[in-house]
């Protein structure tokens, strides 16, 4: 039986996540209602209620809304209690130093990859993806890893993504996925963003299921990606042993 949801709470969640992932910090009520496909008065009442708890702020001059300060200590509380995050950070730091890239741990929740830990190299370009940022499960190297290591029944849904589907249609998909499994990692060489490349590898639980992903993002080219990929796969393997069961 499907789990029941409370529509009003679902709407609150949609509004908060919309504000969190938007490109603008302050959002007008009309824009929010239109983008979410919700009635303007409904959004207004929800925002006013959230404002009472400090979860949302309203600029009385522009009438625009932004996320409130109460979310700061809520987020900090979550991060403080992510035991696996603390365990992962030394491994990510070592990986960042070895690759001169920014190293990330992304946890898979509801078909999204949430950035839960990151470490910068002392040198090189620092990638400013914030903690809490979420990627589609099909994004770039992450999606290729999920195609290769994830459950077969999820493949059709992943391939609905335009860029991943285009990569899959290049031919010999099963052969290429088999190669990714043997290597232990997948690459995205300036495919999703012409400025950056990434390499990703799976973190597995005790049953061999992908529960998280380790990935590095930097400005490297294809000739060094294989070397970085081996290092990313090694780190992912270590984290599978250290924190895989906790995820």
For 146-205, write each residue's pLDDT tens digit.
999 998 888 888 888 888 878 878 878 889 899 999 999 999 999 999 999 999 999 999
- pLDDT value at residue 153: 84
Write a three-state SS string for 68-95.
Answer: CCHHHHHHHHHHHCCHHHHHHHHHHHHH
> Three-class SS of residue 119?
strand
Chain mean pLDDT for the chain: 90
User: What CATH architecture does domain 82-246 belong to?
Assistant: 2-Layer Sandwich (3.30)
- pLDDT value at residue 79: 66
Residues 6+ apart with CB under 8 A from 111: 136, 137, 157
| 6-11 own/partner pairs: CB under 8 Å, 24+ apart | 8/46, 11/38, 11/42, 11/46
- pLDDT value at residue 92: 97
- pLDDT value at residue 81: 60
| pTM of full prediction above 0.85 | no
For 141-161, write each residue's pLDDT tens digit.
999 999 999 988 888 888 888
Listed by start position, the domains of the chain span 7-72, 82-246
CATH number of 7-72: 1.10.10.10
Q: Determine contact, residues 118/130, Cβ cutoff 8 Å.
A: no
Q: Which helix (H) or strand (E) holds 217?
A: strand 210-218
């Amino acid at each position: 039986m499907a789990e029941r949801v409370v529509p009003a709470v679902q709407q609150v969640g949609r509004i908060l996540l919309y504000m969190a992932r938007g490109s603008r910090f302050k959002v007008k009520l009309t824009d929010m209602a239109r983008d979410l496909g919700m009635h303007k008065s409904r959004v207004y009442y929800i925002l006013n209620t959230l404002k009472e708890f400090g979860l949302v702020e309203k600029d009385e001059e522009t009438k625009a809304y932004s996320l409130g300060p109460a979310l700061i200590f809520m987020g900090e509380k979550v991060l403080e209690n992510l035991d696996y995050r603390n365990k992962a950070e030394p491994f990510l730091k070592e990986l960042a130093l070895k690759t001169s890239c920014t190293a990330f741990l992304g946890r898979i929740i509801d078909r999204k990859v949430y950035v839960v830990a990151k470490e910068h190299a002392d040198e090189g370009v620092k990638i400013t993806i914030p903690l809490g940022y979420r990627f589609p499960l099909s994004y770039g190297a992450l999606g290729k890893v999920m195609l290769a290591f994830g459950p077969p029944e999820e493949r059709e849904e992943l391939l609905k993504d335009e860029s991943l589907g285009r990569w899959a249609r290049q031919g010999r998909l099963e052969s290429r996925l088999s190669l990714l499994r043997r290597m232990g990692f997948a690459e995205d060489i300036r495919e999703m963003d012409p400025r950056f490349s990434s390499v990703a590898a799976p973190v597995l639980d005790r049953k061999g299921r992908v529960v998280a992903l380790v990935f590095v993002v930097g400005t490297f080219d294809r000739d060094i990606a294989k070397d970085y990929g081996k290092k990313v796969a090694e780190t992912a393997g270590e984290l599978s042993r250290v924190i895989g069961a906790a995820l």
